[in-house]
Structure 1
């Protein structure tokens, strides 16, 4: 009886360690897939309301070290995204260099000065289907980017904004 209890205990311990190891491996796979970087080249502006400025970190996580700060309304260039983080280069004042910023703290507007607005497309191709129009000089929610295209949301419509229709400056219409 004592021998059977020992075998059962050992079997349960091995099963438990196997479950932990499999969970850790699965989490690493999911994390690796979620952190795939997307290369970009768009200008945006800081929308963070913190009077100290937008935190720029040395990695795509709030757990990473803060390298510096970029003031509100300052223009920055996104060179890559990973999940809800953007790798930026500051092209104005404030933090100089490259680092990571939380994507929801960055914004973009439309151009289209003296027009009836700009198109939002289903993909990063100007021949793709048009989902709708956004009025000129309108702030839109920035969701991400790919190449020179900005992924945006306007009034519940999510799509892609062409480079010529983007304004990455907060205090001007880019016209």
Structure 2
């Protein structure tokens, strides 16, 4: 009797695991454990290889359904970030709507034209320590955002740029 009960419970466990994986419930369980997205409102451009486009997905995971694509160099409004994912809306071309894209595939440049560059801050506060100055019109790695601030990396140094010091357009100087 115990042997038969063990076989039945093992079989049920395998069926439950199979249903969970095949219906996408496993992805939802993983996403439920992720952090709450950080809200922001900045502009960035699609920075993928020429001729390619950036997939827009239903959620912050490669397993989520693709809703559409945004072409290279097009501008998007980043409204939230979580891990390596950005929630975007208002693409200048391509997919019109809201969805999630891979954060490392978005670009940002600095403004500060005619100056000695822009300040990179330690925190999202202009009274915080200035880490260094980033030259004007310089492409930087976008790592995240909070409110109107962009978390960037320049020459291995991470810090925050004010909204005024960001350029989210790939083909103009934002002057």
- For normalisation by structure 1, the TM-score amounts to 0.81
Partner SS state of residue 63, structure 2: coil
**In the TM superposition, what is the alpha-carbon distance from 1:31 to its structure 2 partner?**
5.9
Paired with 1:31 and 1:72, the residues of 2 have a C-alpha distance of 28
Alignment match, 1:13: none
**In the TM superposition, what is the alpha-carbon distance from 1:173 to its structure 2 partner?**
1.0
How many residue pairs match? The answer is 152
Unpaired runs of 5+ residues, structure 2, are 7-12, 14-27
Query: Matches of residues 91-170 of structure 1 in structure 2 within 5 Å?
Result: 91-170=91-170
1:141-174 per-residue CA deviation (whole Å, 9 max, x = no partner) reads 0000000000000011100000000000001110
**In the TM superposition, what is the alpha-carbon distance from 1:35 to its structure 2 partner?**
2.8
**In the TM superposition, what is the alpha-carbon distance from 1:32 to its structure 2 partner?**
4.6
Shift in alpha-carbon separation, 1:30–1:64, aligned structure 2, 3 A: closer
Question: Does residue 1:70 correspond to 2:70, yes or no?
Answer: yes
Unpaired runs of 5+ residues, structure 1, are 1-5, 11-16, 18-27
Structure number, greater radius of gyration: 1
1:8-35 per-residue CA deviation (whole Å, 9 max, x = no partner) reads xx9xxxxxx9xxxxxxxxxx99965543
Paired with 1:29 and 1:76, the residues of 2 have a C-alpha distance of 29
Paired with 2:72 and 2:117, the residues of 1 have a C-alpha distance of 26
